[in-house]
Chain A
Amino acid sequence: MILEVEGLTKSFGGLMAVNKVDLQIEDRELSSIIGPNGAGKTTLFNLLSGKLRPSSGRVIFKGEEISKLSPREICLKGIGRSFQRVNIFPRLSTFDNVQIAVLSEQKKTRNLFIPVRNMVREKTKEILESVMLADKEEVLAGLLSHGDQKRLELGIALATQPKLLLLDEPTAGMSPEETKKTTELIQEIVQDQGLTLILIEHDMSVVFRISEKIRVMHMGRMIAEGKPEEVKANNEVQKIYIGEEA
């Protein structure tokens, strides 16, 4: 068990954005969380990654409680995340964006006098390669296309060498081809590196392609959990989620 969540709750005023959620995530499990807009999926990620403090409940990562740690400390423990809205360093080059994350992971950001140009070059290139941005390393990140920025987002998250990767709609806004390409790429990376993955995604083709397990959230609660086929067949899920789409 790499991640255990017990009774995790976050309320904003009267709104229970996340309501007594329990989760058990096995090591190397590839899972998705689905649910209609406003179900609390991103809030859940924000709680897991330290962006928000839970109102109550606990998050245990590798046997250690992390619910009160800062995003920085949680990152250092081995949870990496990407963001739904592109969240990069826009006026740094694509290379720099990944390099800074590699430097941080290797604790090499404190050096005052050695030129950064030649530091962690290999590792950075390797990550750029894996997210298919090797040919764009000189371009300012803010000028990349949306799809490229989403993949850069993924690259930055990977560069921190996480054990658990939280991806928040990694293919949102992409064309069908890009989505397909990115889905394959995520699958490849996650398997190669033996990562545990939690994916938030609206695109069902991505969800069914990647996940071994699907969890469904609705109005802050986790209402169903199981293998893709089981979830597909679940009446309640069909009613609130798939039914909504049809």
Chain B
Amino acid sequence: MKSLWNRIYTFRAVWLAIALIFLFALPSFLSLGHTSLVVEMLILAVAACGLNLIMGYAGMVSFGPAGLYAVGAYTTALLIVKANVPFGLAIMAGPVAAAIIGFLVGWFCVRLTHVYFALLTLAFSQIIHTIIFQWYSFTGGDNGIVGIRVPDYIASINHYYYFTLALTVVCLALMWMIGNSSFGKTLQAIRENPERAEFIGIHVRIYQLAAFVLSSFFLGAAGSLFCGFNRNVFPVYAHWIKGADIIVVCLLGGMYKFLGPFLGSILYITLDKVTVSFTEYWPLVLGLIIVLLVLFLRGGIAGFFTEKFSATTIRGSREER
């Protein structure tokens, strides 16, 4: 079985090319409704991979990804609606604003670890939610901001699909590079054993903060993309329930594989739509899935498959946990 995975892995460039061609051709054989689902998947994948930079790589479980996602979405929305900033610029400003807020939030959060870190990120996320929710004159409160105009060349669903696809590819490529860089390896070392990392001369907090800022950047990018897609933004984007979605996507796909969150988002949105079509109890189904994941499939979908088809060393990685 080892050789099968190795063979798949050896031709990864080919698989990547096939996947890209497939994604490029997708709108021509999907209905508009389904294409827009794929857009949602791509955007969710950017958010989940962004969160996974800190969760999977650095081992920092954040409960507050939604706050940063919303910062991206609202920055883009407000710039377009209030300041008439061109769409392209507003899209780019989203992730930058999220990174800046991420720096401020992360500055405090990386001082804590484990559950305290998680709770503080949740607190900051809820603060962002409250600000958005209460500040009627600026953010529109619970009415949100509606009717955001996008340029004509990306106004159709298919065009917006290509726009999203291009930015998703860029974002994922950047995150892939970060994950495979010496910085990414350092984050993994910190995840495994922060104490030992200090003893080999690594400034753990600075790396955690840098990871937090990068993660915020990509969460913000996802928020901005979703703002352009939905053309409305609402305070619920910053709500912890949205954050839980992103966390579950990471768990579902697998935190310890780069493509885990990507697979997770495809599966999550598919499950969501399929379940909703025959029962109103999607949250119940989701709950069951989470229980099963945590009990039987800690490595998520990606972890499950690499384990099945790979060498014993990776199987061992689960036992270690």
Contact B200 A156 (CB under 8 A): yes
Cα distance, A105 to B182, chains bound together (Å):
13
In the complex, whether A242 has a CB less than 8 A from a CB of chain B is no
Q: Quick one: closest B residue to A105, CB to CB?
A: B201
Q: Which residues from chain A sit less than 8 Å from chain B, CB to CB? A: 49, 51, 70-72, 75-76, 81, 83, 87-93, 96, 99-101, 103-105, 108-117, 119, 138-140, 142-143, 156, 159-160
Contact A138 B320 (CB under 8 A): no
Q: Which residues from chain B sit less than 8 Å from chain A, CB to CB? A: 177-178, 180-186, 188-189, 192-193, 195-204, 207, 313, 316-317, 319-321
Contact B192 A72 (CB under 8 A): no
Contact B316 A92 (CB under 8 A): no
Q: How many residue-residue contacts, CB under 8 A, span A and B?
A: 110
Chain A positions within 8 Å of B201 at CB level: 72, 75-76, 104-105, 160
Contact B320 A91 (CB under 8 A): yes
Name 5 A/B residue pairs within 8 A (Cβ), A-sorted: A103-B185, A105-B200, A116-B185, A117-B180, A140-B316
Cα distance, A204 to B51, chains bound together (Å):
51
Q: Quick one: closest B residue to A108, CB to CB?
A: B182
Chain A positions within 8 Å of B207 at CB level: 109
Chain B positions within 8 Å of A71 at CB level: 198-199
Q: Quick one: closest B residue to A142, CB to CB?
A: B320
The 10 closest A-B pairs by CB, nearest first: A89-B192, A142-B320, A75-B201, A109-B186, A101-B200, A116-B182, A100-B189, A71-B198, A104-B201, A143-B316
Contact B196 A88 (CB under 8 A): yes
Cα distance, A108 to B184, chains bound together (Å):
12
Cα distance, A76 to B198, chains bound together (Å):
10
Q: Quick one: closest B residue to A156, CB to CB?
A: B200
- State which of B180, B192, B199 has its C-beta within 8 Å of the C-beta of A49: B199
Cα distance, A93 to B181, chains bound together (Å):
16
* Nearest CB on B from A94, distance (A): 10
Cα distance, A192 to B189, chains bound together (Å):
29
Chain A positions within 8 Å of B197 at CB level: 100
Cα distance, A112 to B53, chains bound together (Å):
12
- State which of B186, B200, B317, B321 has its C-beta within 8 Å of the C-beta of A160: B200
Cα distance, A140 to B197, chains bound together (Å):
17
Contact A75 B200 (CB under 8 A): yes
Contact B186 A100 (CB under 8 A): yes
Q: Quick one: closest B residue to A89, CB to CB?
A: B192
* Nearest CB on B from A43, distance (A): 16
* Nearest CB on A from B28, distance (A): 34
- State which of B181, B188, B192 has its C-beta within 8 Å of the C-beta of A111: B181
Chain A positions within 8 Å of B193 at CB level: 87-90
Contact A92 B188 (CB under 8 A): yes
Contact A116 B189 (CB under 8 A): no
Contact B178 A112 (CB under 8 A): yes
Q: Quick one: closest B residue to A93, CB to CB?
A: B313
